[in-house]
Structure 1
Amino acid sequence: MNPALGQLDAARSLALGDGRYYGTIIPGVLPIIGPSASASLEVRRWGADFLAEAFASPAWGADEKQASALTVLATLKDYVEGVDDRSVVKSAIQAAASIYPLVYRYIISNPNDAQNWQLMLAIKSNILARMDAAPPGVRICCVKFLQQIILVQTPGVIDPRRPDPNDISLALVPRSHPLIPYVSLEAEGHGLLDRMLGILHGDHSDALLVTATLNSLGMLMQRRPIAVNKILASVFNFNPLKLANSPMTPKNKVIMKSIERTTRALLMNVMKRNPDGPNTGRIQQYLERMHRMRLDVFDESNRKRPAPVEPTDGLDQSKRQRLAANVPVAAPVVPPLPPGPVSFRQLFTLNPDGNTANFDVQAFKDPEQLLRILMPVLQSIDEARLGSAINAVRSRWVNLSKATPRPPSAPNTAGPVVDDEEEYEPDFEPEDAEQIVNRIDGGLSSNNFPDRIPDAPLAPYKLPEAPPLSEQEVQKHGDMTVRRAFGMLGAVDEKEKGKVTKGGFNRLAASDYGRDAWVTILARLATRANAGLDDPEEGIKDEHAVKRAKGNTNISEAVRDGLYQYIMNDWKKRIDVAISWLNEEWYNDTILSQSSHLAAKLNGTSTSAASSGLPKGNYQRTTLRLLDGILPYIEHTDKILLRFLSEIPALDHAILARMKKMADDPERIELAIMVLQYLYMFRPPVRSMVVDTLVDLWRDNDRAQASARKLLVRWRPEVLEQGGGGGGAAADVKSEGVSDKESANGALEVKAAS
């Protein structure tokens, strides 16, 4: 063994134990394995494997990898161009696949380093040239390199609020970069994707290459949504059983099964990641079609020799019977019964010398196991033989009945025998009925019971009263009831939502037992269960005070918490539930407010709720809680917020203040302005509050000044003249705005789309 390999293996073991040592070991081993050293083939194989292992290690930081990647480019170029050994080339290509994104990110930040980029391009060109003519093992490594190039040279989705530092894509490249032209790299990335998809429709004799390509497509669809449609279209046109037209050798069968299973796993993972996606139906159809094709191909190949059409045997009983011949069935020879008393076993045993006569059925502890044995046996019995055996047992039973003497009948003590010509018509009098009952009781007591039960009236039975529940038990059972109700709500099919026969607040809540009925029941349980029972001097709770103290058995708060969690689990599809719930809250608060005003007038008193003129209740608290829960997930394209704020029954400054908070995100400024514009035009009672909110935006948010100024110039121009906000003349801004008619049409289109 080469002594240098022993030292290299020791260094490799040290790095495997702690990934931080890779940064110090690589500069030390490069003079030994690099292009300038006259290293042996074993050392070069070790060097290529070590580099591939180092840059694929997750224990080594990305920044340290990027710094070390520039130092090994010359070594990798020498491996792929100057070494013909297949093992060295495979490991070098794998290392290049891990290094390419790192060098790419480095060049984005350092556009003047053309030397390192030229080395990377030389390695890239050499690997791409091997794609079609290299051995199968090398081509699989080239597929991995292709995947990394496509990921890097196609634009990814960048979220400024949640950036992913590990996602290196074309979106990070400026348009004016001197070394990385945006348009050329994007075109090359899409071309290489087409080249990878072409492997699926080529020769399937190399199953490893096809399955490697299919496994690479899953990562591309997950991280590059822009390429999903192209990849799925190519997979839908892909036939994993293409070799079915070739001779069905064992090798071809294994290849087809391997490719078919990989394809099915790829599409199943796509459906699991996005079960409600637009391509789910097509994927299911493709999987069903592929399943039928697989059954047709492998069932025909595994089918045995069919049975002959014409009968081949005669009428000999010892051979197979002719299919269309009526073979006479010989009557079984029934042995005579033994003298003396006969048991049921001896009565039904027609062949005492057979093996089944001594079989104990009680050995089967599991009745299901016995049934699995008996059913095939009963189906295989000949009907004619079964009939003969039944007749033999019947004749035995008749002979036994005749030979057994009957017990003597009881003497007749009722008097002389009545003539047969007279008809006996019993009259059901109370005395006769009582005699019949006594005779039956006497027979039962003589046979089964030692003494006769004396007649006595039954005392009424009453169940004992249940012990009173403690407050903790009441709270526990109440929470269980609420969870069960929401479980039934989740089990209702959402396709049946909205099927309410009678609208309005006075509709029947459970008229059809659908989704809308359960939502109405729970909303009214939350709002009307304890209506009027709370302390009017308690004051309105804070919108974030949703947790109940220990021992508090308020069922309304439990249902409110359940409704909030149910809506937030899928708030986009359940926004109608939120609107229905808030309508119920507002209606209940309004009714309670009116009742408190009337009671205050009658009593001549003035409560805090009555004097303030505001309904004391939970509508505002619930609305603010829902808004605070939904706003962090609102995207700038989610127009569903417009529907929510336009359909809830009441708005105030606290609710509209959430639009100012949402406008702190630069991407969502236009959505906030659109919501305020729609509310101004189609909800006249809140116009003053909307304009006040726009004024605050214009004064406090520098990025929203331009959008707010376009609306304030028409609705409150005196604020612009006072200054303190965006500045500029009102007349200059008015020319940039749109007309009221255009704004109304745009808002209506957005409302209809949501």
Structure 2
Amino acid sequence: MAEGDVVRTKLSHLNQAREIVLQDPKFYKDILGGILPHIVASDAAVELRRWGADFLAETFSSPRITPQTKQELALTCLEPLLTLLGELETGILKNVIQSSSSIYPLIFRYICNNKTEAAAWQKMVSIKSKILSMLDSAAEGVRLACIKFVQRIILVQTPGASDPRLVDKSEVSLTIVPLNHPILNIHALEAEAHGLLDRLLNVFQDGTLDAPIITAILNSLPALVKGRAAISNKILNVLMAYNPLVVAAKSMVFKERFIARSLEKTLRTILTHLARASSGGPHAGKIQQHIQKLLQSKAEFSIEVPKSNKRAMSTTEIDTVKRTKYTTADAEGEYTPTPPPPTIQVQPSNGTTYKTLFTLTGDQALSNFDVSQLPLEMATQITLATMYSISPQMLESSINEVRQRLSRLVQAAAKVPPARPPPPPQLDDEDDDYIPGGGDAEGELSMQTAKTGAEGVNYSEDSDDSYEGVKELVPSTAQGRAAAMDLVKMPDLSPEQIQEACEGTLERMFETITTLDKPAKKEKAGITRLAATSLDRDGWITILSRLSTRGLSGIDAEIQAKAQENRMHYESLSSQIRQKLFMYVMGDFRTRMDAAVTWLNEEWYNDKLQAMAAKESNRTPLEPQYAKWMTKIMDGIFPFLETSDRNIFLRFLSELPVIPPPVLANIRGLCLDPERSNLGFLAFQYLCMLKPPVRQQVLDIVEELWQNHNDVKNSARKLLVKFRPHVVGLPPKDPNGST
């Protein structure tokens, strides 16, 4: 009989046994003692272990079994539970932790009454240590179960009611422990409980909005507040200082603002429940005050992300100045200004200034506004926003209007009889304030006593002198100015000088990147985003990545050819940038993985472009860079990867377009590392599920591990059962997942 048929037969028999104990709970002891050690063993099929974990959780949560019977069953289940905690499957771990939460008070009471059972307590301590190690790093569902287990530990390891009239005989707390107990140290147990409570409460103070975890902790606290007076004050003080809406107020991400609204409602519900339960307590008034604050914050809090399309009102603007009126957003989300009013025809006059020459609006208040009052950054933003929103036709029309005004001014000045020709202006290096055509410090064209022509020659209004000689003067003056403005041509730099200058520039750029803080979370703009919209860290990384791939290829080719002619060594600018990016990522890979992802995606895209160009031109393609630098980064980070880096590492693999074979070999090395084996197989499982192009390569490696390495045989078998069941002797699965 095939192994799959054997497993199905066993599951059928086990389900029959479950039906028996559900009808008559007295058979629980016989069934658990007879079959449990066999179905939860490490060499048993995963389906059997999954059934065993589910059966244990169901057993210890059943109300039909007496506490005394549950205590006897708990003593026989310690070893199986300890074995099942080595599983990787989330469903099994959740059931095992749930069972451990149920039996912890039972074992604690048993040890209080049996001072010689050190072996049983040691097994319970091992179970507790394994579960607590998963509290911060396991999968989300497992962490939620761990929170329930921590709540049960705190309840058990803190003092209960001291008044004998209020003591519940079924309650398990630190109060029932004898003072001279040889196994249970009262002070150590209470200190551990307070430490675990601090770990739970820390989530309300670190500024994160992890909704499932925070909700689970919030739901576990009311039992602690009502059942343990010694720690209720600490919990209430933390809850009354927490407001998730304040945490999300500065966030520009819709999801976080939505989560904050949900957490606020949960917090308010729990506080209302606690206020009713302790209506006469000392904290009732403070709880009601905090509930009112939450309601006020909710009224002021908007779940929508604040819009930033409109310019901010400057505090220096006077009330009489109107702001630019914007219409509603178009289909692409851009705001375009309303068309300006008809322009004013400016005629030449003695009062003509640069301001009247270039003013195109008929709004008198806006015309009189002094732009110099605006801060430089605001003026720049307004200018850029206007340039982006204005249509090309409107811009061309405005430029033509200014040209016509200037032409009319020149024609009017040419009709005035000229004065005697002045000597050519003496231009020297220090004459920085000279304005061609004349003009005072305020920008007014000097027309009160003289008219300025287009060539910069002054004509007197009352002079009777002739116009002779002016035509010769203008070309000579223009030639003199052109000669004075000629710049000295700089000599060409040698490849060594270019390389040295590039190194210095790169050093300064990476010093700037290092000093920039990690930007706050922001919504991604999708395919409409620009490469670098701001000079933050991500913007600099994008610029450098594109320079190393596509931006410097032509320049490198020219300089390389020149260096070969002179028989000089030259390291390409692209190689220098790539090496600098590599060293930057290796400096702190845990916080700079996003920079590595940006860079490597640019390398992969550039390799594709180069291959297409080489195919079209029938030339040898350039050396691919993606696999080379991807392998170097992996070789650099693998010696330092830890189990706690699981999320970072899996996210890194998920955002890369291709996984080269050397990287798979590195992950295989992780699988053979006893301390990091789980991380390696988790990475292989992720690649099999979500990276189909490398699935067969991964499964070949896993199959080799299953055949040749007994210490990882069980972990490899779990993957093979799902993707290559025939290798482990199981029948293949059809596309629907059934055998």
Q: Could you state the TM-score of these two structures normalised by the residue count of structure 1? A: 0.39
Q: Which has the higher contact order (CA 8 A, sep 6+)?
A: 2
The structure with the larger Rg is 1
Q: Could you state the TM-score of these two structures normalised by the residue count of structure 2? A: 0.40
